[in-house]
Amino acid sequence: MALDKSFVDNSSWKPDLFKGKVVFVTGGAGSICRIQTEAMVLLGADAAIIGRNVQKTENAAKEIQQLRPGSKVIGLGNVDVRDVNSIAKSVEKTVEELGRIDFVIAGAAGNFLSDFNHLSSNAFKSVVSIDLLGSFNTVKACFDQLRKNKGAIIFVSATLHYYGVPFQSHVGAAKAGVDALSNALAVELGPIGIRSNCIAPGMIEGTEGMSRLTPPGATPFDKKVPLQRLGSGKDIAEATVYLFSPAADYVTGTIQVVDGGVWHIGSFMGDLYPNIIIQQNLDEVSKL
């Protein structure tokens, strides 16, 4: 699902739209945030991508840098978004090497399928810490640069908390917090020139989330989407570019849902619910 130069050739956006700007991306080696970074770099920005896995992060940075001649993309691994000091060091390194930070994408996240009965307190805390606390820490560490450059923030959210989604209570709770954080920052930071918005991806083809979270035996998802297709990386890229572009200078405190309209019709696990949950709990009782 990676982007290439055709994104610019076939785009409505100017090729040098973000020339001289720098984007700081947590989770930048992952599928969604990598696509966002690729779009920004193709349109003129330099980038720093932040991750836990050193090799994966550095390799991704090298590959992204090759998308545009003259671009500079650095990969900073061994960073834990749950530790604000760890991110702060990455911010210092980014400013040292790239000169500034104009845009922040807070996208580091953790997820897995688990019903409430089998979800431990530690597992719940871990996801909330990565998704929500990690988002807070990312903006906290970048705040001085954002204030100095009148920058903009995009939080990567989800639609899981718009309705009850089984097996996703931990992530739904975390992403609801991310939305609330973004809304509060839009109000608090707007007077000093900083914009804050969310992108809430739906079912995006080729992502880690789709491969790991697809329930066995489910009906093909594209048939459940009002637009009758899964989302693509380009759909996320276009939303990202818009929210960071001058076209969105008066847009803050919004949640840009990119899901083909699925959130209007409820959980995509409908054909598995409630039988799979009932069966799991009956299995537990039979073992007693």
Q: Which residues are catalytic?
A: 157, 175
What dihedral angle (degrees, nearest 10) is formed by the CA atoms of 242, 248, 249, 254?
A: -110
Asked if residue 215 has a cis previous peptide bond (ω within 30° of 0), the answer is no
- Sequential DSSP letters for the chain: ----THHHHT-SS-TTTTTT-EEEEETTTSHHHHHHHHHHHHTT-EEEEE-S-HHHHHHHHHHHHTTSTT--EEEE-S--TT-HHHHHHHHHHHHHHHS---EEEE---------GGG--HHHHHHHHIIIIIHHHHHHHHHHHHHHHHT-EEEEE--STTSS--TT-HHHHHHHHHHHHHHHHHHHHHGGGT-EEEEEEE--BTT-HHHHHHPPTTPPPGGGGSTTSS-B-HHHHHHHHHHHHSGGGTT--S-EEEESTTGGGT--TTTTTTTHHHHHHHHHHHHT-
